[in-house]
Amino acid sequence: MHSAITASAPAGSAWRGLLTQTRDIEITRIGAQGDGIGDGVFTPLTLPGERATVRIEQGRGEVEALLSASPDRVPPPCPHFGDCGGCALQHWADGPYLAWKRERVIEALSREQLETEVLPTFASPPGSRRRLALHARAGKGGAVVGFKARRSWKLVPIDVCVIADPRLVAALPALRALARPFLEHPKSAPTLHVTLTRTGLDIDVTGVERKSGGLSADARVRAAEAAQAGDFARVTMAGETLYGARQAVVTLGPAQVALPPGAFLQAVPAAEAAMAQFAVEAVSGAARIADLFCGVGTFTFRLAQVGTVLAADSAAPAIAALKAAAGAAPGLKAITAEARDLTRRPVLARELAKIDAVIFDPPRAGALEQAGEIARSAVSRVVGVSCNPATFARDARVLVDAGFRLERVLPVDQFLWSPHVELVGVFSR
């Protein structure tokens, strides 16, 4: 191993004694951010067991030369790999990559002294993402759209995305044309939140400068013209409709749901279906089910094929969409839906007195307050869905301390080649 240390200071600045090290290190593991770790140094785009010459600045490394590659290294399928800040693990073979995601769940549970059966990770396939958040910036002769670069605010323009549904990739030229009117103000930094629905693309645009008066009438007209040319279903700006040719409709189990602008939706239909099937099987036989943090009804409509459902979520537009879809969906048992902030006003234990099973699917912050009420209730069956293993484990600890047993957990790789992992856990008394 060699170690070369050089000192440098930013141009035009006072000397601050900043140090840059270059040395050979061995990567020992992958960190939570998808970075290889060797000698305590986070080094992106490496794998365990590899040796590399690494330039180290402020505790982070950048590979200058790969000295020995892991047998688990595979050619990354995306031409933007290494520049784009997404999909940081696409150079890792499927087997060890999915095993690492499962291990992340086990580690999160172990920090709360929880042990259970952790099933093999459900893998979302490439080309299956129906949602993208595309950043837009001014470029020569028009707009460019893409993703943020690694460790930078710079934009990496994309013309292909191997995780996205091919219909989203095919729409990139039309999305670039749509982005241009939103760049009217120099301080605007638009993000196009694009969702593929059954009736076409639904785009909600955020990041447009409003203090100076917002988008001009002329820019609004040009945005609508671009939307029409692209045959988009709807274009909104922070929820305000700018163009609407038809409702943005998605299929959730037996229901057809008209999405509110900017509504939450699972990113991959196959992952959604796997999580829903796992949850529905877990509550089989329950006559009365509570679906908490229900959104537009990802689980609600499937659960209503099993028993009656009490659905609650803080997003009033989502609840309105759920109610409208429930009225038209065939073969469902009764659904009662309520707009309710479940963090500030969780469903109380006494309100759960007539409930047989509960499903909760909170945001990343978890559902500590709601978990406490479930723990104090007489409910015998609970399913927890989470995009954050750490807060899931914290909430699971509350339930286990109250007499529940965590029976099994299904890790779900919904965000392919990223460090994120989702999960579904089943509890019983």
* 44 and 162 within one domain: no
Q: Which of 78, 87, 294, 387 is catalytic?
A: 387
Q: Is the pLDDT of residue 371 over 60?
A: yes
Q: Residue 151: give its domain's CATH number.
A: 2.40.50.1070
What are the E-state strand segments in 207-334? Answer: 234-237, 240-244, 249-252, 255-258, 288-292, 308-313
- 3-17, 143-157, 181-195: lowest mean pLDDT where? 3-17
* 324 and 187 within one domain: no
| 423: containing domain | 98-124+268-428
Beta carbons of 157 and 139 less than 8 angstroms apart? yes
* 104 and 45 within one domain: no
* 190 and 48 within one domain: no
* 410 and 378 within one domain: yes
- In this structure, is residue 279 part of a structural domain? yes
Query: 78: Cβ–Cβ under 8 A, 6 or more apart, which residues?
Result: 84, 87, 90, 160, 161, 162
Residue 8: pLDDT band (50, 70, 90) is very low
* 242 and 214 within one domain: yes
Give per-residue pLDDT as tens, 327-337: 999 999 999 99
Compute the average pLDDT of residues 267-283. Answer: 98
* Residue 387 annotated as catalytic: yes
Report yes or no on whether pTM surpasses 0.75: yes
* 30 and 107 within one domain: no
* 210 and 155 within one domain: yes
Q: Is the pLDDT of residue 14 over 60?
A: no
Q: Residue 342: give its domain's CATH number.
A: 3.40.50.150
Give per-residue pLDDT as tens, 159-171: 999 999 999 999 9
Compute the average pLDDT of residues 132-144. Answer: 93
Q: Residue 27: give its domain's CATH number.
A: 2.40.50.140
Give per-residue pLDDT as tens, 304-324: 999 999 999 999 999 999 999
* 422 and 300 within one domain: yes
Number of domains composing the chain: 3
* 330 and 400 within one domain: yes
* 32 and 111 within one domain: no
